Structure 1
Amino acid sequence: MDADFDPIDEARRQWIAHGWEDAADGMTFVTSIMRAQQLMLARVDRTLRPFNLTFARYELLALLSFTRTGQLPMSKATARLQVHPTSMTNAVDRLEHAGLVARSPHPRDGRTTLVGITDAGRALVGEATEALNSVFRSPGLEQPQLDVMLDLLAQHRRNLAD
């Protein structure tokens, strides 16, 4: 493939050529964000693979490791990670099977299930975080650009009512 060829730029050109000029910039933006997400996720996945973790499972372990007690109601973990309850159940099932988290009944609310990180989960998330910080320390932008991008993305999420 030609190193100078950018498929997203070509898609933009085609959008304009087909009379969708009013949507071309938005299509380019959305497609660029989605491609950047794919590239970043691939880096994260490669980094977490030796730990047998997906990013979703890593996020749950990290969230639990940050709590004072090491546990949260599953509904609260779901809300904080902004995932569907089914995705949370799947992540907890896999992590529990690996001995990294444990479910327990809430002591005061019989309808609530707590998910808590185990000692093995704490150890693993610590190691995985050290590895993952190599990705986070070099996200592909220099600091001034990163500051601008973080501001723009925060504004964009607010505009979309995140």
Structure 2
Amino acid sequence: MARSTRPLPLDPIAEARRQWNSHGWTSAADGMAAVTSIMRAQQLMLARVEAVLKPYGLSFARYEMLTLLSFTRDGVLPMASATARLQVHPTSVTNTVDRLEKDALVTRSAHPSDGRAALLTLTDAGRALVARASSDLNAVVFEVPGLERDDLAQLVRILGKFRRDAGDFDIPDAPAEPL
């Protein structure tokens, strides 16, 4: 959801927090405000990202897939590995790949040693498109995310701890191997 042309006269999340407290839900008020703030921040950030990707005909899901493939040594990755690394349902990956394949940005082929698996390959057109889109995303969104550098580092640390504690990932003993 994009930012309205005129800011609201009050912070609706602060008002919701006030209401939570006035209804006796004091122990949940801060958690509600944090969760709701993160969800609204996600909407604002996604709107910025989608505005940059729209001229390329990419959704964020399609962009993520192309980027993941571009980070591999040869632009090739088993579909199951893409599903795991993107942390989405296999059906979502299939739908994303279907659209990317239709646009000739990736190809899908049988895995040479596993008859049940499929390999995804980034095409030259896909590699060129994701390079241009990444350049614009870096310049317009990632280099200027709307937070001061110290706040940004603290936010990444806090959310990383939250994700790790929620079981999203383990801290590896050694750095990950390149794809």
User: Do they superpose with TM above 0.5?
Assistant: yes
Moved beyond 6 Å, runs of 4+: none
Instruction: Please list, as runs of the form range in 1=range in 2, the aligned pairs for 1:68-147 lying within 5 A after superposition.
Output: 68-134=73-139, 135-147=141-153
Q: Distance in 2 between matches of 1:13 and 1:65?
A: 47
Give the match's secondary structure for 2:24: coil
CA shift for structure 1 position 28: 0.2
CA drift at 1:109: 1.2
Give 2:49's aligned amino acid.
V
The answer to whether structure 1 residue 50 and structure 2 residue 35 are counterparts is no
- Give the TM-score normalised by the residue count of structure 2: 0.88
Where does residue 68 of structure 2 map in the other structure? 63
Q: Deviations 1:18-45 (Å, cap 9, x if unpaired)? A: 1100000000000000000000000000
The answer for the alignment partner of 2:3 in structure 1 is none
Provide Cα deviations, 1:102-123, integer angstroms capped at 9, x if missing partner. 0011111111100110000001
Secondary structure of residue in 1 paired with 2:147: coil
Report SS of the residue matched to 1:19: coil
Write the distance in 1 (CA, Å) between the matches of 2:7 and 2:67: 41
Which residue among 148, 154, 157 is the counterpart of 1:148?
Answer: 154
Normalised to the residue count of structure 1, the TM-score between the two structures is: 0.97
Identity %: 62
> Compared with structure 1, are the counterparts of its residues 102 and 17 closer, same or farther at alpha carbon in structure 2 (3 Å cutoff)?
same
Give, in angstroms, the shift of residue 147 of structure 1: 1.0
Shift of 1:2: 6.5
Return the alpha-carbon distance in structure 2 between the equivalents of residues 65 and 2 of structure 1: 39
- Alignment partners' CA distance in 2, 1:131 and 1:94: 22
- For 2:157, the aligned partner's letter is D
Q: What is the CA-CA distance between 1:140 and the residue it aligns to?
A: 1.0
Give structure 1 stretches of 5+ with no counterpart: none
